[in-house]
């Protein structure tokens, strides 16, 4: 049987490569290492990523903290008002 690419029974000539020409990948970053070496690599990568972090200054940190606290207080007030309203509505409807 033959199709547009070639014979199903016979592989194409470009697919036939001698075993000596095939590249085998040995080593590299994903080579099998011991669990302690992998753990050490993991911690080295963590430290390298933490060095890239841009830490906020003290004034930025105070501003961000204040904004978060104010937002949380506003949301607590909003949820309290909605809960109070729904409580009264349920008491009115169900007696």
Query: In whole angstroms, what is the distance from residue 27 CA to residue 32 CA?
Result: 8
Poorest-pLDDT segment among 8-17, 49-58, 83-92: 8-17
Query: In whole angstroms, what is the distance from residue 37 CA to residue 35 CA?
Result: 6
Q: What does residue 56 show for φ and ψ, rounded to 5 degrees?
A: -70, 155
CB 5 within 8 A of CB 12: yes
Q: What average pLDDT score do residues 23-32 get? A: 60
Per residue in 38-86, pLDDT (tens digit) is: 999 999 999 999 999 999 999 999 999 999 999 999 999 999 999 999 9
């Amino acid at each position: 049987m033959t199709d547009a690419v070639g014979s199903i029974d016979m592989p194409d000539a470009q697919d036939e490569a001698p075993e000596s020409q095939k590249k085998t990948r040995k080593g590299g970053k994903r080579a099998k290492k011991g669990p302690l070496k992998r753990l050490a690599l993991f911690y080295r990568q963590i430290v390298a990523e933490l060095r890239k972090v841009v830490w906020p200054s003290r004034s930025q940190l105070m501003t961000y903290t204040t904004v978060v606290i104010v937002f949380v207080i506003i949301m607590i007030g909003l949820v309290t008002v909605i809960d109070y309203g729904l409580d009264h509505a349920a008491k009115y409807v169900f007696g």
